[in-house]
Structure 1
Amino acid sequence: MALKLDACIAQHQGDRKEQQDRVALVAHGRVPGVALAVVADGMGGHTGGALAAEQVIHTVSTNFQHWGSGEEPRQLLESSLQEAHTMIKASRFINEKDPHSTAVVLMLLPGNRSVWAHCGDSRLYCFRGVHLRTRSIDHSYVEHLLRIGKITPEEAETHPNRNILLTSLGGREEPKVEFGGMDELQAGDSFLLCSDGLWAYFTDEELGALVTTGTAREVAAKLIELARGRGAGEGDNISVALLKFLEVPKEPLPKVALKRP
């Protein structure tokens, strides 16, 4: 099935003094049908977090443009995030700051395929229509408590330590990076990549219902508007990348005028 992509990125500073998120959506310059979406949420005090997130975007995007079909996509994502981690750590000595960043990266491939990687709590959701197919699992203290059964999902929503991360890019220890992928993408499928300034205000079911309500641009604007309202003056930075797959309509057959014999 031939598909076309309706995609956009969007941001809002929220109620913070600085926008420390970064987001990008780029097509490959040489390989048709290949694209990349990245969301990075920087941490580390004034300007430090922004520099870390910017490093993620720069490293991943640059390596992506040098990618060739002979390299496995997962290998590209893994090496790019590792390189970004190393560069962020090095900047600590130059800038005298303690920068860190989360990252979630999606790579779209020919043949309606995808692969993704994430570190931290910036999320990737994959929906088919309104139904959640899969999402990334946060590298956070609260998610760890959920996994071992110490708290319920309801308790996780208001847990006082919900923002504590177990890993990030630029930390003193090697980052934990997890991977996923989805093949046989079809019309009605969508990917939502976002920072915690967005997902913190929605259930998975709400997001699934919202992604079907308009174009990528319309949905992104609606998500940010709702998150801002629910943030009630205390909202975090918001970054969104939304990619929706649509069926390419078939061209009608040309009409042929028949002449009578």
Structure 2
Amino acid sequence: MQFSVYQQTHIGGRKLNQDRMGYLYTRDALLLVLADGMGGHLRGEVAATIALQSIATRFKAQATPYVRKPERFLEEALQQAHEDIMRYTRDKAMPDSPRTTIVACLVQHNSAVWAHCGDSRLYWLRRGQVLGRTRDHSHIEYLIAKGQADASERATHPDRNKLYNCLGASTPPKVELSRAASLEPGDILLLCSDGLWAVLPDTEIAHRLSAQPITQAVPEMIAMATTIAGSRGDNTTALAIQWQGAGTPDAAGDPSVVSTQMVPEGEVTSRLDAPAATPAPDDPFDEDDIEKAIAEIRDAIEKSSQILK
């Protein structure tokens, strides 16, 4: 496999960046993940971090070198991430569990499948056209589907930020899966938080990604979104790949191009980005406590994953 990849995040007007993103790949499989910790709940950034680590651990256990059942993998991975967040909540005796939205995409054999909970989005684009896009698990999308609101109200409706599905809630998440998408060279997959899509319309996102390489388009979109949103802007995060297919000659000198044939057999390469999280002054859990809890959860996940091999 060969693809270009670029990811970036911006704190926006918030005191803390609760977005997390990353990608992992073997010789034959690529996993993209983006999580947006929910700021209305305590330690949303921890929920997002645990979700990424949980899903990544499962990928490392099952991608040997590709995942046998992609849809089942994604559904079980997101459900496991939810359970790991709930375990953290119990271990810390927290009054309420941290929560996060999530979107994940698995690419292998020139095909992509994705899953999501909440309003972190995935766009599938080809030659400037949006071929596929996740449907937000929000109240406004529910109203639009029922014919009780117009699609033009997505950016202005007072209930646009009310979600009915996420990881970490008392109600188990309902993982929404896509159909398998057959990729062609030049196709783009974009994962992003609502800090981007809530500010830039789909037409602008499609135009930017079709007009220039993702290494230019992504940072320009993030800069545009954060400028427009100003001091009240949300965390803004995007992870994009441009698919080049299998057997494509290496693009010499382009650091954004990844050729998975360079990965030794049996190994997984990963790039998980986590902005530094500074606890609020009244937060009873300091960073050492958080890292210790996450490490314990990661160890438990890795032990249980041995059963899946």
* Same fold by TM-score greater than 0.5: yes
Residues 192 and 237 in structure 2, CA contact (< 8 A), matched pair in contact too: yes
| Distance (whole Å) between structure 2 residues aligned to residue 34 and residue 10 of structure 1 | 22
Q: Which has the higher helix share?
A: 2
Task: Give matches, 1:1-261, under 5 Å.
Answer: 4-28=2-26, 32-43=27-38, 48-67=43-62, 68=64, 69=66, 71-95=68-92, 96=94, 97-110=96-109, 112-246=110-244, 248=248
With 135-144 and 212-221 compared, the bigger mean Cα shift is at: 212-221
Runs of at least 5 residues in structure 1 that lack an aligned partner in the other structure: 251-261
Aligned CA distance change for structure 1 residues 179 and 90 (closer, same or farther; 3 Å): same
- For residue 43 of structure 2, what is the amino acid of its counterpart? G
> Residues of 1 paired with 2:182 and 2:33: CA distance?
22
Distance 2:30 2:67 in 1: 16
- Give CA deviations for 1:33-56 in whole Å, capped at 9, x if unaligned: 311110001125586101100011
Task: Find the aligned partners of 1:219 and 1:181 in 2 and give their Cα distance.
Answer: 27
How many Å apart are 1:8 and its aligned residue? 1.3
* Alpha carbons of structure 1 residues 129 and 182: separation in structure 2 relative to 1, 3 Å: farther
Matched letter for residue 145 of structure 2? R
CA contact (8 A) 1:44 1:98 kept: no
**How many matched pairs?**
245
Distance 2:143 2:180 in 1: 28
Aligned mates of 2:41, 2:175 — CA distance in 1: 26
Asked whether the equivalents of residues 29 and 67 of structure 2 are also in contact (C-alpha less than 8 Å), the reply is: no
Q: Residue 44 and residue 180 in structure 1: after superposition, are their counterparts in 2 closer, same or farther (change >3 A)?
A: same
Q: Which has the larger radius of gyration?
A: 1
Check conservation: 2:12, 2:230, Cα contact below 8 A.
no
* Cα RMSD after superposing both structures: 2.0
Q: 1:158 Cα deviation (Å)? A: 0.3
* TM-score with structure 2 setting the length: 0.75
Q: Distance in 2 between matches of 1:216 and 1:73?
A: 26
Contact 1:8 1:25 in 2 (8 A): no
Give the whole-Å Cα distance in 1 for the aligned partners of 2:56 and 2:201. 30
Greater relative contact order (Cα 8 A, min sep 6): structure 1 or 2? 2
SS of the residue corresponding to residue 102 of structure 1 reads: strand
Report the CA distance between 1:9 and its aligned residue: 1.2
Q: Which runs of 5+ in 2 are unaligned?
A: 251-309
- How far apart are the structure 1 equivalents of 2:126 and 2:177? 19
- Give how far 1:129 is off: 1.1
What are the superposed Cα offsets for residues 53-91 of structure 1, whole Å, 9 maximum, x if unpaired? 001100111100111457301111111111111111222
For 2:148 and 2:189, locate their aligned partners in 1 and report how far apart those are by CA, in whole Å. Answer: 30
Percentage of matched positions with identical amino acids: 35
TM-score normalised according to structure 1 size? 0.88
Task: Report the CA distance between 1:230 and its aligned residue.
Answer: 1.4
